[in-house]
């Protein structure tokens, strides 16, 4: 990144904030609703961006291994919580443009979530497998909830046999209790009411941790949900938690609104199939897949996007696309779905019109398009073109390029508006 391009807006912002000196700021203080961050993996840094002026504001280095990093935001939008692959959890203040807290919380981590009231941040860990929950203000550890490969068999409260997909309370206490081996955790999302849902890759299970009383987390476990859940999504209404399965076809769904939630299998045809195709990159699942009454899911290994009815959870269509889809993301107004691709097609991006249910535009915005993020009211989309070292801002109506910002090897893009959405 060119330092000059970066420093001018950063200085302007500091002046705006009134942090640069003693004088009453001449310019009105600005808010955080239009800020965001771009992951710069190779530099272990974040670029802070403004989506109104479409500018780079600052770079914050010192974040360690940011491969597969993800970010959530504080309720006020001023703080980004960065989950690094190396197990570090870092809080970056976007206004001060600096790291304000950092803990090395695990050896290998793959994302996290923040609860609705903003008090608790949870990290999902591969090693040691489990989730850890932190005070969002101090990053002090609040709860350490290990995930085991085998469900505890001694709890008297067990409500359903593991094989039925029913719920079981899970011992959340002593680490390594009973010598059970740990499971990697994936698909962590926030649920209403200081709860988190997540899936256990090595245990074929889904767990819900309730931290209403943070000192006594209550974990409910659903076993036998299907082999090797590898990622999950929460529908935007917080009702359905859906885990993709790596070890077999289909997905596992829990309707969280039911009094006695149960896991069930949907979309038996979804997956790699009986004769697995080479999969260049496992697609990601998140709540952005839902556009109106349909979910748009990346087919695994196939050049297709599946259209799923969210009432019946049946497949109702397939749309041919230009490669193996990685991110299939609904524009926030649900009128379009944008798709990027795995190697060798990741110079392309396609736009599906949800009314016509077909691809209406194929774009080639740059080399190695790794991620896309929409502005909250859908007028623009930001794209990372890693090998061009550019972040591009496109008008979602005209497809015109509104800005092209120099960023060193950009990958994930995250805007503060995520703070107002569940399951992000």
Task: Fill in the per-residue mask, 270 to 309: x = in contact with a copy of itself (CB under 8 A), - = not in contact.
Answer: ----------------------xx----------------
Q: How far apart are the first and last CA of the chain?
A: 28
**Cβ 207 vs Cβ 170: under 8 Å:** yes
Among 118, 169, 171, 406, binds a copy of itself (CB under 8 A): 118
Among 2, 8, 31, 276, binds a copy of itself (CB under 8 A): 31
Q: Which two tokens stand for residue 214?
A: 């943070």
Q: Which two tokens stand for residue 249?
A: 């076809």
Task: Fill in the per-residue mask, 380 to 399: x = in contact with a copy of itself (CB under 8 A), - = not in contact.
Answer: x----------------x--
- Interaction of residue 208 with a copy of itself, rule CB under 8 A: no
Give per-residue burial for 212-241: e unless 16+ CB within 10 Å, then b.
eeeeebebbbbbbbbebbbbbbbbbebebb
- Interaction of residue 89 with a copy of itself, rule CB under 8 A: no
Report the nearest approach of a copy of itself to the CB of residue 39 (Å).
20
**Cβ 222 vs Cβ 242: under 8 Å:** no
Contact partners, residue 54, CB within 8 Å, separation at least 6: 380, 393, 402, 403, 405
Residue closer to a copy of itself by CB (options 296, 341) is 296
- Interaction of residue 317 with a copy of itself, rule CB under 8 A: no
Neighbours of 96 (CB within 10 A): 15
Report the nearest approach of a copy of itself to the CB of residue 397 (Å).
5
Residue closer to a copy of itself by CB (options 174, 400) is 400
- Interaction of residue 34 with a copy of itself, rule CB under 8 A: yes
**How many helices and strands in the chain, by DSSP H and E?**
1, 33
Name the DSSP class of 156.
Answer: T
Report the nearest approach of a copy of itself to the CB of residue 91 (Å).
9
> Interface with a copy of itself by CB under 8 A: which residues?
17-19, 21-22, 24-25, 28-35, 51-52, 73-79, 93-96, 100, 116-118, 190, 192-193, 237-239, 257, 292-293, 311, 333-335, 355, 375-380, 397, 416-417, 419-422
């Amino acid at each position: 990144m060119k330092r000059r391009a970066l420093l001018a807006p950063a200085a302007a912002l500091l002046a705006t904030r009134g942090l640069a000196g003693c004088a009453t700021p001449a310019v009105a203080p600005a808010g955080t609703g239009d800020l965001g961050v771009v992951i710069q993996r190779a530099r272990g840094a974040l670029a802070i961006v403004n989506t109104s002026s479409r500018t780079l504001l600052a770079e914050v280095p010192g974040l360690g291994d940011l491969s597969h990093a993800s970010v959530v935001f504080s309720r006020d939008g001023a703080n980004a919580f960065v989950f690094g692959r190396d197990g570090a959890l870092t809080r970056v203040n976007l206004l001060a443009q600096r790291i304000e807290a950092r803990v090395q919380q695990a050896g290998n981590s793959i994302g996290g979530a923040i609860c609705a009231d903003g008090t608790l941040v949870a990290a999902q860990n591969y090693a040691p497998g489990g989730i850890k929950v932190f005070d969002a203000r101090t990053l002090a550890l609040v709860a350490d909830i290990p995930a085991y490969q085998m469900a505890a068999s001694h709890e008297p409260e067990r409500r359903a046999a593991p094989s039925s997909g029913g719920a079981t309370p899970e011992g959340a206490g002593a680490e390594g209790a009973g010598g059970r081996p740990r499971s990697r955790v994936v698909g962590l999302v926030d649920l209403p009411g200081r709860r988190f849902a997540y899936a256990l890759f090595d245990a074929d299970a889904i767990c819900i941790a309730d931290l209403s009383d943070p000192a006594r987390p209550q974990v409910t476990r659903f076993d036998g949900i299907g082999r090797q859940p590898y990622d999950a999504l929460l529908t935007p209404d917080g009702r359905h938690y859906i885990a993709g399965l790596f070890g077999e076809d289909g997905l596992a769904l829990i309707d969280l609104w039911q009094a006695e939630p149960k896991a069930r299998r949907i979309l038996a045809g979804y997956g790699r199939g009986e004769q697995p195709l080479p999969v260049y990159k496992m697609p990601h699942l998140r709540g952005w897949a839902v556009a109106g009454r349909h979910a748009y899911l990346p087919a695994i290994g196939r050049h297709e996007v599946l259209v799923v009815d969210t009432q019946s959870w049946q497949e109702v269509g397939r749309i041919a696309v230009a490669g193996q889809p990685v991110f299939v993301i609904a524009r926030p107004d649900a009128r379009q779905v944008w798709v990027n691709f795995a190697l060798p097609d990741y110079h392309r991006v396609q736009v599906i019109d949800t009314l016509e249910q077909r691809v209406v535009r194929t774009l080639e915005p740059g080399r190695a398009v790794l991620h896309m993020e929409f502005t909250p009211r859908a007028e623009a989309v930001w794209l990372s073109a890693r090998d061009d070292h550019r972040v591009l801002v496109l008008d979602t109506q005209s497809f015109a390029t509104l800005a092209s910002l120099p960023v060193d090897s950009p990958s994930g893009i995250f805007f503060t508006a995520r703070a107002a959405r569940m399951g992000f």
